[in-house]
Amino acid sequence: MSAPHTPTAVSAAVPEPAPRLPAPLAPAPLAVTRAGAVLHVRLNPDAQGDVLSTSVLDSLLAVLDGLYDQPDVRILVLSSLGSDFCLGADRREYQDSLAADPGGTSLRRIADKAQRLCQALENTHAVTIARLHGKVVGAGLALAAYCDLRAGADTCQFRMPELGLGLAPAWGGAMGRLITEAGAARIRELMLTCETFDAATAHRLGLLHKVAPLDSLDDTITAWTRPLARRSPQALVLTKRMLAGYSKAARTTDPALLDSHLLAAQLTQPR
């Protein structure tokens, strides 16, 4: 009698796993390029949506800290790749920070970075130039105000909206800088009314040194950078430091370091 037939097990072919594609890299908060003595730093809205998030603050601080090892960089031009220069601070980040830390410690750390950034802009050896277009709002205007020179497209729209949003204008210690640059009476009006003002008004106030059509704004910037790059490096740095010193002397009482505490104290209060 023949032995019973045992069916042979057939193993199914196991497909090889598909190769894992590398995760797409997140866009960088800044685009930084250098042309001779000029460093171009461009805010990248693809990374943070036209606002000054923590990642943008950290990146800008890193660039400015790196200038200590680059004394041959004489000019820094700050601009944006987006349709607007900057729409202000990242309020969603503020909300997320408070949700995670209702005591406000994390929020104070974010606001302290803003103050450190503005001080770094004012104190760096490089002449800083703000190239402005589109909307320049809130903390975006504060950031630009700390640059040595400011040129804007004639279509720029400026606004200080903090009071209308239920916030005190406490970002980077900018209130003192704005008052020094443009005068207490007009800054008081613009902060209290939150009204939008145009490039011509910003020029009259001294918040813009030059106004140009958008398509010739780069020519206006170049008209500054070319002669600045030819100046004696020692004389350029000394002149900038002297100007910064006299500007700070006009702010005899500078409560800039309180801004982070003022902002956190306000936002942590129940509404």
Amino acid, res. 197: F
Beta bridge mates, 226 = none
User: Which secondary-structure segment (H or E) carries 222?
Assistant: helix 217-230
Q: What is the DSSP string of 122-162?
A: HHSSSEEEEEE-SEEETHHHHHHHTSSEEEEETT-EEE--T
Beta bridge mates, 149 = 129
Do residues 135 and 87 touch, judged by C-beta distance below 8 A? yes
Of 112, 118, 113, give the one whose Cα is nearest residue 141: 118
Burial pattern 231-270, b for ≥16 Cβ within 10 A else e, equals: eeeeebbeebeeeeeeeeeeeeeeebeebbbbbbeebeee
Cα(256)–Cα(121) distance, integer angstroms = 14
The whole-number pLDDT of residue 247 equals 81
User: Which secondary-structure segment (H or E) carries 64?
Assistant: helix 54-66
The whole-number pLDDT of residue 59 equals 95
The whole-number pLDDT of residue 167 equals 84
Structure tokens at 256: 């800039």
Structure tokens at 219: 């020519």
CB atoms within 10 A of CB 154: 16
The whole-number pLDDT of residue 266 equals 57
The whole-number pLDDT of residue 109 equals 86
DSSP assignment letter at 173: T
Give CA 28 to chain center in angstroms: 13
Give CA 68 to chain center in angstroms: 19
The residues, ordered by sequence, that sit 6+ positions from 228 with a Cβ below 8 Å of its Cβ are: 37, 74, 75, 127, 236
Cα(194)–Cα(33) distance, integer angstroms = 35
Instruction: List the chain pLDDT tens, one digit each, 271 residues.
Output: 455 555 444 444 555 555 554 544 567 899 999 999 999 999 998 766 789 999 999 999 999 999 999 999 999 999 999 999 999 988 888 788 778 878 778 878 888 899 999 999 999 999 999 999 999 999 999 999 999 999 999 999 999 999 998 888 888 888 989 999 999 999 999 999 999 999 999 999 999 999 999 999 999 999 999 999 999 999 999 999 999 888 877 665 566 555 665 566 556 665 5
Cα(259)–Cα(141) distance, integer angstroms = 16
